[in-house]
Amino acid sequence: MNKELDYITTEKKKALLAELETLKTTKRKEILDSLEFAKSLGDLSENAEYHSAREEQGKLEERIGQIEHILRNAVVMDKKAHGAIIEIGSTVTVSKKGSSEKTTYQIVGSEESDMTKNKISNRSPMGEILFGKKKGDIVSVVTPRGPIEYSVTDVA
């Protein structure tokens, strides 16, 4: 597995496809309706509604482009496809050296990372160090206070 590629899980692909469908159909129509209404108000040079709708349209088209780029270029990973080696979709439990406290992370692509759910990107400092490791390995993470060693206690 190449660490330089962008990865998404099957679930994220489904969510992106659903968002893309909504943006291309419902949201585009809403913005076009807003533009038509704004045009009907007259003078476009000083028409705040028109300028606001055009700005929304630009943001919408930018997001559509982003999603299409991700879907076109990202490698889709199935969570069930991995084994004992840490890769995209792996759930990893680590413990800090000298502590019995354990933390569990899911390794995901950068598009899916969410620290509130302990989903870390394979490109984050911790994700990069864990990527390719297996249960029992010791990894060292460099922090502003110095390196911290972690033991990989479980890979699922």
**Burial call 11-49: b when 16+ CB within 10 Å, e when fewer:** ebbeebeeebeebeeebeeebeebbeebeeeeeeeebee
With respect to residue 1, please indicate whether it lies within any of the assigned structural domains: no
**62 and 41 inside one domain:** yes
**146 and 105 inside one domain:** yes
**70 and 119 inside one domain:** no
Is the pLDDT at 79 greater than 70? The verdict is no
**120 and 130 inside one domain:** yes
> What is the enclosing helix (H) or strand (E) of 103?
strand 102-108
For the chain, how many residues are written? 156
> What is the enclosing helix (H) or strand (E) of 106?
strand 102-108
pLDDT at 3: 58
Q: Of 35, 57, 77, which marks where a domain is finished? A: 77
Rounded distance between C-alpha atoms, residue 26 and residue 45, angstroms:
27
pTM tops 0.75, yes or no: no
**69 and 119 inside one domain:** no
Rounded distance between C-alpha atoms, residue 134 and residue 146, angstroms:
24
pLDDT tens-digit readout, 114-134? 999 999 998 898 999 998 999
